[in-house]
Amino acid sequence: MPGPRYTPLVAALPATVPFVGPEAHMRASGREFRARLGANESVFGPSPMAIEAMERAAQDGWMYGDSESHDLRAALAAHHGVAPENIVVGEGIDGLLGTLVRLLVEPGDPVVTSDGAYPTFNYHVAGFGGVLHKVPYRDDREDPAALLTRAEEVGAKLVYLSNPDNPMGSWHSARVIQRMIDALPDGTLLLLDEAYVDFAPEEAALTFVADDPRVIRMRTFSKAYGLAGLRVGYAVGAPGLIAMFDRIRNHFGVSRIAQAGALAALMDQGWLEDVVAQVADARVTLAEIAERNGAFALPSATNFTAIDCGGDGALARKVLEGLMARDIFVRMPAVAPLDRCIRVTLGRPEDLKAFEPAFAEALAEARAETAG
């Protein structure tokens, strides 16, 4: 009996996902993680105001959420000093990435990114038949000059850059990013992923000039606001581009509970500031843990730190495996030379207390194995 008639594009794609989730790992091992430090969730949790708002909204869970996210968009517009027409809300940055790629990329269209950058973006580009052109990192940072050069060479419709960067935690100043925008080839859109900007130094954040048609900026409530489980993100861009999302987006994709939680979280900037301060403290602690074990924590402007284990990808992979075997969830970059590192979410004191002995043991075992 014949099955569904898949499109040739989808039938040719590999069976893969951008990330294996922590729950899948726990099902495979049959054990719970003692410290969940791999997905860059905010282990400090959401604002109590957000929790209260979600509890209230749950009583109306029988209703669809506002398809226009009117109140949340208005609040975000006021927060950033732009108009609601500059903002679209979606199912996290991941959902917005898929919609943007669908808007711009047809089979064969060139798209430029960095080799080792956020894989979910690549996943969407492949899903719509785009052709990815990758440039290497330079000094553990994405390289704006190389991205521009490649975009010019291939006539890219879309260029992806995250600032701050995932997976290395590095960042560029707003001045560098603005120079990149000003040098974009005609017809090329810069997708600026700012998922971690709430943790970054002030000089890393561009001033909002929301009517600039050359750039679209994406932000999220999943990181500093502690609402990863709700899947709420937003994009800020020129009104004409934002209006195009309405033609193909999932209009009821952001639930009533999610909108209520995100709106309340945005209103509680004091909680956000406290989380950012706790992350900064954890950054210092994790750097000390790395140093005590003969490793090196890279400077970070995010809620995670990349730890250079002092070898190559094979060594770091063994360290990761050792940590996972000890029920400590972490991840690592997939591309050399970035893969000499493991990536560790900046957690609570009890998370890092569990991490330190496990890391020491895993690193010692990995060094002994690779030395032999």
pLDDT, tens digit (0-9, with 9 covering 90-100), for 290-304:
999 999 999 999 999
pLDDT, tens digit (0-9, with 9 covering 90-100), for 258-270:
999 999 999 999 9
- Pick from 359, 332, 355: which is nearest to 167 by CA? 332
Q: Specify the pLDDT at position 120.
A: 94
CA distance 259 to 262: 5
Q: What order do you get walking across the sheet with 296-297 strand by strand?
A: 296-297, 304-308, 341-345
Q: Specify the pLDDT at position 245.
A: 97
Interval 275-294 mean pLDDT: 97
Domain 19-45+270-371 coded CATH 3.90.1150.10: yes
Question: Do residues 218 and 193 touch, judged by C-beta distance below 8 A?
Answer: yes
Tokens of 267: 């209103």
Cα angle for residues 196, 198, 201 (degrees, 5° grid) = 100
Any idea of the CA torsion for 241, 247, 249, 252, to the nearest 10 degrees? Answer: 120
Instruction: Give me the architecture of the 48-267 domain, per CATH.
Output: 3-Layer(aba) Sandwich (3.40)
CA distance 115 to 130: 16
Interval 214-238 mean pLDDT: 97
- The residues pairing with 297 across neighbouring beta strands, listed in sequence order, are 307
Q: Specify the pLDDT at position 372.
A: 61
Question: Do residues 171 and 192 touch, judged by C-beta distance below 8 A?
Answer: no
- Pick from 342, 222, 205: which is nearest to 275 by CA? 222
Question: Do residues 347 and 282 touch, judged by C-beta distance below 8 A?
Answer: yes
CA distance 77 to 272: 18
Tokens of 305: 């730190």
pLDDT, tens digit (0-9, with 9 covering 90-100), for 129-159:
999 999 999 999 999 999 999 999 999 999 9
Helices 48-58 and 256-267 cross at an angle (nearest 10°) of: 150
- At residue 312, does pLDDT exceed 90? yes
Q: SS3 sequence, 291-335?
A: HHCCCEECCCCCCEEEEECCCCHHHHHHHHHHHHHCCEECECCCC
- Pick from 219, 218, 147: which is nearest to 185 by CA? 147
Q: Specify the pLDDT at position 371.
A: 78
How do strand 215-220 and strand 233-236 relate by DSSP bridges? antiparallel
pTM of the model: 0.95
Question: Do residues 116 and 338 touch, judged by C-beta distance below 8 A?
Answer: yes
- Pick from 159, 106, 100, 107: which is nearest to 133 by CA? 159
The domains of the chain are located at 19-45+270-371, 48-267
CA distance 88 to 79: 14
How do strand 189-193 and strand 215-220 relate by DSSP bridges? parallel
Q: Specify the pLDDT at position 119.
A: 93
Cα angle for residues 123, 45, 304 (degrees, 5° grid) = 55
Under the banding of pLDDT at 50, 70 and 90, the label for residue 225 is very high
Interval 81-98 mean pLDDT: 97
